Amino acid sequence: MGSIVAPYLAGAGFGKITLVDADIPDLSNLHRQVFYSEGETQTKSQALANHIQKLNSEIEVLVVEEMLTKSNIDSIIMTGTTVIECTDDMMTKYLVNDYCHLNGIPMVYGAIYKFDGYVSLFENKSKDSIQLRDAFPEPDLDVPSCSDVGVLNTIAGMIGLLQANEAIKYVLGIGQPLRGSLLTYNALTNDQFKLKLKKNWKQDMDLVYSSTSYDSVHCLNVPEISYEEIQKNRDVYNVISILEDDEHQDIFDSVKRIPFSSFNIRDWKDNNKPAVFYCMSGRRSSVLVEKIISEKGDLSVFSLKGGLNSVTIQKNTSTLIQIKSQTLSVDECYQNVVDESCGGIALFVGTVRNHNKGEDVTHLDFETYQAMAVKEMTKIANECQEKFGTAKVCIYHREGHVGIKDIAVVIAVSTIHRKNAFLACEYAIDQLKDRVPIWKKEHLENGSYWVNSRP
């Protein structure tokens, strides 16, 4: 959202703008961070500074090509009069919030998730002022980032504009800023709500700030182990699921269960075996392992790398659910679903045609976030089994360059009766198109464009 906020603040004439970011724009960012270009080699902060300096040469732009941490936040933020919080990292959001609250710096909060956006203004006039923890007391470390889960690109623009608008209103003293209120917006329904926040959080912010590292989960220095490594020596490890009741799935036989919400570190014993904890994505298990090591000492504990999601992908990408950069095999997909108990197999093959809407097509490019795509494709296969009683479902999809007449997708399903095979195959086709994060770029004789952009 920062790439949306900054140009509008520059255009409005904010005298000094500090941009903080060490990342270099990635192709996957560009659908929502539209002020950057393909092939960008500068950091986001420097590239954005160049842009807004051209927009308004009379303002001062300071570039900080670092990631914000507890060790550098004082030197970067202390002199600011207003902070616009535009990060995509849960712990950094709380770092900025807690620092601003302690130091009396107004903060405009913004967050996006899939199709939803959130905006608020925390004025921080005193320690009794409403702040982020009054709405969300603790960081939810299992909430994936935009890069992890995908996000509708327009919601980033909308929330960024609302953040810029709040900053302008507050600095100019006009209108009704969102002081102590949380604005929520859904891009699919256009539903918008403004919630009045109450002072719910009563803890000592000084103590919380001094005792919290605010390190991002991916920065935690915790021992990790892969699913493949455990498979090689299953009997060596004590595998524990910390997933809640509505999330849990066994990844091996004899998996122990201790939900994260009820885990008591004081009662934990290692039972003379290395322990491997797993959650959905590896975030909660990393946090838990760090706490166990911190409180219990040098125990042999691990976090499962990538969590349950990686196991699902591991199991399915090797068999029935695959995203491939090579040519798809129709026969292989067919053979994967052959079952002697089934009397019907339905097969769909999607190929690339040479025209669309009266224009000549030269080829297609498919981009995908593979982890989320395979997970969603697996859900679709499971739904086919629940709805139509399929015995097996195989879904193959291409990524990368796909030429004319090449196969882009193959779906095969087997059922006892042929009617259900047709229905299940049609269902899988429609759901694949509507739900799976696969983006198609159509190349024409006179240019190219993205046909779809799904979260």
**Domain 319-450: which CATH class?**
alpha beta
The fourth-level CATH superfamily of domain 221-312 is Rhodanese-like domain (3.40.250.10)
The fourth-level CATH superfamily of domain 2-214 is NAD(P)-binding Rossmann-like Domain (3.40.50.720)
- Counting beta carbons within 10 angstroms of the beta carbon of residue 325, is it exposed (0 to 12), middle (13 to 18) or buried (19 or more)? exposed
Query: Are the beta carbons of 99 and 209 closer than 8 angstroms?
Result: yes
Q: Is 170 left (phi over 0), alpha (psi -120 to 50) or beta?
A: alpha
**Tens digits of per-residue pLDDT, 315-361?**
544 458 889 888 999 999 999 999 888 899 999 999 999 998 888 99
What lies within 8 Å, CB to CB, of 213 at 6+ separation is 70
Amino acid identity at 398:
R
d(CA 284, CA 303): 9
3-state secondary structure of 64: strand
The full set of domain ranges for the chain reads 2-214, 221-312, 319-450
Sign of the CA dihedral running 442, 353, 329, 315: positive
E strand or H helix that includes residue 255: none
**Tens digits of per-residue pLDDT, 86-130?**
988 888 999 999 999 999 999 999 998 878 899 999 999 998 999
- Percent of the chain exceeding pLDDT 70 equals 90
Tokens of 407: 């196969």
Q: What is the pLDDT of residue 36?
A: 66
**Tens digits of per-residue pLDDT, 250-259?**
888 789 999 8
DSSP 219: G
What lies within 8 Å, CB to CB, of 383 at 6+ separation is 427, 431
Residues β-bridged to residue 167 = none
What are the residue numbers of the active site? 146
